[in-house]
């Protein structure tokens, strides 16, 4: 008995000692003040505070180029016309649909200290992280192109505001390849046949949608089901969903009348079945409903990529109209869906060849006149519009609407460190598919954007 | 007592319970386990240690105590991700245990040997497909436009791929994929476990008047209990690490599935999008502790290892 009690007391004492030691240790840590767990690379982190120092340059060194499949032929064309430049061309997803492949890889290259490609095609979102270090002490991936690499008069030739997503801390980290200004696409043959005129205001658009739903059920005047539909509709409505008021402060206010007016309008057309919640790019849409699309409010590349390539609409049927206006507006504001950028790696051992390549890709008529999408470089855009290959598919001349829309892209929709598609696709679209209305989903969307912004280090405000 | 005292003492004392007699055999044994041990150290133990180091420091290498853990636990995606995985695990483990054991019992006791062998082979086939390939098969199965069972999907009111992938359906979908790929292998294992039960035991039960279900419930299942525990531990560990399935569905659905549906995906986003390897390590430590706790509980409650020494 005695011995067993002693053993128990002994054990007890031991555990008390362990506990005491743990407490001392814990309080020691508290007293010493544990270091903050917050990563030091938020949006407030300064990129390129010290001057850009290129690595040792090697004339004629091979450059590695990462491009998406759409821009691959352009890179190959450069290689063909510049056979003396040693190039290794790699195809990747180019950041489509919010993919973060490039970012993932660069994070790893920054940790291993090697492997970076010299030139990459990416999305404006990519520039937000590429212009800042991915970890303390790392050099930002993108080289500041305005720093003795690309002449100022070349940079000045880009369409107004098209280089804004490239600019951080007073430097320009990318050259914009193309812009994707939103216009109103319509099937001119069907509109003429049914005696409709393309709308010029949102009120007319809504009225025509209701009319189509009644007179020609099954035909559609738009879709909200794609990963980027919000950029066509809510951006055009000047909704403050992704509005950076300062470099680190994001304004999100989906209860703003400029958001609710668009949500209300779309809800009415969705319940009338004139606007579908299935995406143009969703499985089976082209086959089942592609021929039923009377109108689509979307980017300049819809003509070639949605109507021609996906829906196989015959030539000379599709036309474009300028962006729609809201009451009280004299000039429209419109959205922008994508538009890629080219970046040069700050780790490149052949900056000369890399810079020459991105300059040729973005500004030369030789490449851009026959580019798949609308060039951001203004002189090249003129050449693009003059190229019959870019317009002979359409029923009408698209130059007017395209040029007008390019100047009307609203600048209040900011380029954030996180993709604006994630919250829309994973929160709003499933709710719409489940039968909820857009208006009733706005609070959930607001919360999703705010949460994501905070997780990426932004301060969030709703006014 | 007297009898005991008169026992001859020449007989060596029997080994104490639980202590195995020393085995002979030189260094060959070490040689054979060396390869595995080395790989385990390099790819198992070392990364775990590195994850612990990262989880307790920040990106300047300063010690942060438990701050990383509290920070990731406060992330708005943390609780939903663990909630998703909890619902999925409950579904998956219950279905796995009930159906594999039931199927194995039926295969063992109620079918002709040749039929049973054929069925075991068929059940195993999906398990031969690698993870990604099996998800691709399911992408077709779940899209009403191309699915061979589109009538079923439409009958359940799901007319499009997007409707099938509504957030409430996801745990069931991942459970189906996991069952389809994993359960066949476990049925074969359970069948083997049932084979280990001596025929005399089953015969004795029959003589005592036990029918097939009574035999299964009172004799066969209790006797393969440690295999069931073993299966549950491995399935639990694999389930908490769910990554490929939601990641592929996220891509295939053009983003309609959250990119941080499971904790592993959240850790991935932390590491490779936010560049926050320390936070990612903290999430992985959470998963490790969860897995160890559950395995420990099951091993303790089932006496799994003590049974082996009999």
Instruction: Give the whole-angstrom CA distance, residue A313 versus residue B5.
Output: 104
Instruction: Give the whole-angstrom CA distance, residue A144 versus residue A155.
Output: 12
Q: Which residues of A touch B163 (CB under 8 A)?
A: 433-434
**Contact criterion met (CB below 8 Å) for A65 and A357:** yes
**Contact criterion met (CB below 8 Å) for A232 and A182:** yes
The position carrying tokens 């009644």 is: A214
Question: Is B58–A37 a contact, with Cβ atoms under 8 angstroms apart?
Answer: yes
At residue A119, the 3 state secondary structure works out as strand
Which residues, other chains included, contact A196 with Cβ-Cβ below 8 Å and sequence gap of 6+? A208, A211, A212
Phi-psi domain of A98 (left: phi exceeds 0; alpha: psi -120 through 50; beta: other):
left
pLDDT (tens place) for every residue of chain B, 310 residues total: 334 444 444 444 444 555 555 666 678 888 889 999 999 999 999 999 999 999 999 888 889 989 999 999 999 999 999 999 999 999 999 999 999 999 999 988 878 888 888 988 888 888 777 667 888 888 889 988 888 988 999 998 888 888 899 889 999 999 999 898 888 889 999 999 999 899 899 899 989 988 888 899 999 999 998 899 989 999 998 899 999 999 999 888 888 899 999 999 999 999 888 878 999 999 999 999 998 998 888 888 877 666 554 4
Q: Which residues of B touch A284 (CB under 8 A)?
A: 143, 145-146, 160-161
- Which residue among B161, B259, B279 sits closest to A282, beta carbon to beta carbon? B161
Question: Is A36–B58 a contact, with Cβ atoms under 8 angstroms apart?
Answer: yes
Which candidate in A26, A36, A37 is best for mutational testing of the B interface (most B CBs within 10 A)?
A37
Instruction: Give the whole-angstrom CA distance, residue B277 versus residue B55.
Output: 8
Q: Which residues of A touch B278 (CB under 8 A)?
A: 37, 39
- Which residue among B65, B256, B277 sits closest to A430, beta carbon to beta carbon? B256
Instruction: Give the whole-angstrom CA distance, residue A374 versus residue A371.
Output: 7
pLDDT score at A28: 47
First to last CA, chain A: 74
Confidence of residue A448 (pLDDT cuts 50, 70, 90): very high
- Reported as a single tens digit per residue, the pLDDT across A104-128 is 899 889 888 999 999 999 998 899 9
Instruction: Give the whole-angstrom CA distance, residue A315 versus residue A313.
Output: 7
Tokens of A12: 């007890």
- Reported as a single tens digit per residue, the pLDDT across A87-108 is 999 999 887 766 788 988 998 8
Which residues, other chains included, contact A365 with Cβ-Cβ below 8 Å and sequence gap of 6+? A379, A380, A383
CA B249 vs CA A207, B161, B246: distances in Å = 38, 11, 5
Question: Is B275–A41 a contact, with Cβ atoms under 8 angstroms apart?
Answer: yes
Question: Is A35–B58 a contact, with Cβ atoms under 8 angstroms apart?
Answer: yes
Q: Which residues of B touch A111 (CB under 8 A)?
A: 277
Question: Is B60–A454 a contact, with Cβ atoms under 8 angstroms apart?
Answer: no
Query: What angle is formed at CA B14 by the lines to CA B8 and CA B19, rounded to 5 degrees?
Result: 165
Could you count the other beta carbons within 10 Å of the beta carbon of residue B244? Answer: 17
Catalogue all structural domains in chain B, each as residue range(s) with its CATH number: 63-302 (1.10.3720.10)
Bridge pairing between strands A249-251 and A243-246: antiparallel
Per-position DSSP letters for A331-397, written without gaps between them: S--B-B----EEEEBTT-S-HHHHHHHHHHHHH-HHHHTT-SS-BSBHHHHHHHHH-GGGTTTSSS-
The Cα of A55 is separated from the nearest Cα of chain B by a number of Å equal to 23
Question: Is A284–B145 a contact, with Cβ atoms under 8 angstroms apart?
Answer: yes
The Cα of A182 is separated from the nearest Cα of chain B by a number of Å equal to 21
Tokens of B7: 């026992």
Question: Given CA atoms B99, B143, A298, A104 in this order, what sign does their dihedral have?
Answer: positive
Catalogue all structural domains in chain A, each as residue range(s) with its CATH number: 63-179+338-386 (3.40.190.10), 182-337+406-461 (3.40.190.10)
Tokens of A393: 């598919």
Which candidate in B249, B262, B266, B275 is best for mutational testing of the A interface (most A CBs within 10 A)?
B275
**Contact criterion met (CB below 8 Å) for A278 and A223:** yes
Question: Is B162–A281 a contact, with Cβ atoms under 8 angstroms apart?
Answer: no
Q: Which residues of B touch A134 (CB under 8 A)?
A: 275
Instruction: Give the whole-angstrom CA distance, residue A371 versus residue A354.
Output: 20
Crossing angle of helices B277-302 and B46-55, in 10° steps, is 120
């Amino acid at each position: 008995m005695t011995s067993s009690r002693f053993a128990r007391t002994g054990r007890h004492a031991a555990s008390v000692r362990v506990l005491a030691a743990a407490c001392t240790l814990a309080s020691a840590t508290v007293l010493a003040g544990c270091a903050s767990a917050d990563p030091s690379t938020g949006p407030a982190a300064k990129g390129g505070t010290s001057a850009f120092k290129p690595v040792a340059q090697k004339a004629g060194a091979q450059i590695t180029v990462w491009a998406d499949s759409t821009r691959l032929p352009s890179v190959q064309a450069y290689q063909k016309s510049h056979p003396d430049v040693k190039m290794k061309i790699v195809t990747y997803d180019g950041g489509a649909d919010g993919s973060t492949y490039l970012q993932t890889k660069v994070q790893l290259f920054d940790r291993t200290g090697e492997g970076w490609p010299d030139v990459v095609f990416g999305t404006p979102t990519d520039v937000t992280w590429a212009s800042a270090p991915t970890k303390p002490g790392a050099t930002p991936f993108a080289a500041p192109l305005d720093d003795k690499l690309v002449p100022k008069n070349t940079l000045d030739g880009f369409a107004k505001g098209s280089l804004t997503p490239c600019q951080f801390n007073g430097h320009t980290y990318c050259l914009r390849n193309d812009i994707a200004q939103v216009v109103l696409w319509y099937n001119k043959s069907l509109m003429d046949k049914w005696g409709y005129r393309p709308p010029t205001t949102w009120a007319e658009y809504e009225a025509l949608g209701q009319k189509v739903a009644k007179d020609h059920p099954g035909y559609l005047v738009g879709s909200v089901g794609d990963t980027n539909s919000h950029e066509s509709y809510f951006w055009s409505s000047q909704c403050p969903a992704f509005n950076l008021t300062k470099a680190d402060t994001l304004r999100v206010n989906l209860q703003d009348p400029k958001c609710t007016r668009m949500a209300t309008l779309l809800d009415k057309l969705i319940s009338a079945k004139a606007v579908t919640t299935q995406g143009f790019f969703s499985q089976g849409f082209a086959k089942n409903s592609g021929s039923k699309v009377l109108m689509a409010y979307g980017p300049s590349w819809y003509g070639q990529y949605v109507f021609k390539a996906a829906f196989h609409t015959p030539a000379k049927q599709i036309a474009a109209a300028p962006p729609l206006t809201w009451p009280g507006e004299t000039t429209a504001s419109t959205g922008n869906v994508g538009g890629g950028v080219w970046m040069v790696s700050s780790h490149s051992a052949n900056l000369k060849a890399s810079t020459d390549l991105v300059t040729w890709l973005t500004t030369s008529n030789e490449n851009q006149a026959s580019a798949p999408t609308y060039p951001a470089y203004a002189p090249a855009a003129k050449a693009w519009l003059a190229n019959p290959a870019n317009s002979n598919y359409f029923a009408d001349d698209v130059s007017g609407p395209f040029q007008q829309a390019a100047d009307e892209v609203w600048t209040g929709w900011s380029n954030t460190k996180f993709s604006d598609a994630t919250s829309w696709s994973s929160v709003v679209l499933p709710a719409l598919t489940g039968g909820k209305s857009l208006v009733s989903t706005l609070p959930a969307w607001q919360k999703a954007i705010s949460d994501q912004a905070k997780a990426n280090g932004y301060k969030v405000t709703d006014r | 007592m007297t009898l005991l005292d008169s026992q001859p003492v020449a007989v060596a004392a029997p080994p104490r319970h639980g202590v195995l007699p020393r085995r002979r055999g030189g260094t060959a044994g070490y040689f054979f386990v060396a390869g595995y041990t080395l790989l385990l150290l390099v790819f198992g133990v070392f990364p775990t240690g590195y994850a612990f180091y990262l989880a307790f420091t920040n990106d300047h290498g300063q010690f942060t105590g438990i701050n990383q853990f509290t920070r990731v636990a406060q992330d708005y995606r943390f609780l939903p991700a663990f909630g998703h995985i909890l619902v999925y695990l409950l579904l998956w483990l219950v279905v796995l245990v009930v159906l594999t054991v039931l199927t194995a019992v039926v295969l063992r006791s109620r079918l002709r040997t040749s039929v049973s062998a054929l069925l075991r082979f068929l059940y195993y086939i999906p398990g031969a497909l690698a993870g990604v390939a099996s998800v691709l098969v399911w992408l077709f199965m779940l899209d009403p436009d191309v699915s061979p069972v589109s009538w079923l999907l439409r009958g359940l009111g799901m007319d499009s791929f997007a409707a099938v992938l509504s957030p409430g359906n996801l745990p069931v979908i991942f459970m189906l994929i996991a069952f389809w790929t994993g359960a066949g292998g476990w049925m074969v294992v359970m069948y083997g476990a049932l084979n280990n039960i001596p025929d005399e035991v089953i015969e004795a039960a029959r003589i005592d008047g036990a029918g097939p279900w009574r035999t299964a419930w009172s004799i066969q299942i209790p006797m393969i209990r440690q295999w069931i525990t073993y299966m549950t531990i491995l399935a639990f560990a694999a389930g908490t690490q769910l990554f490929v399935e939601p990641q592929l569905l996220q891509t295939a659905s053009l983003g309609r599935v959250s990119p941080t549906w499971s904790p592993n995906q959240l850790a991935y986003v932390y590491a490779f999008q936010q560049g926050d390897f320390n936070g990612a390590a903290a999430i992985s430590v959470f998963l490790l502790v969860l897995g160890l706790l559950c395995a420990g509980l099951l091993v303790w409650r089932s006496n799994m290892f003590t049974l082996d020494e009999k």
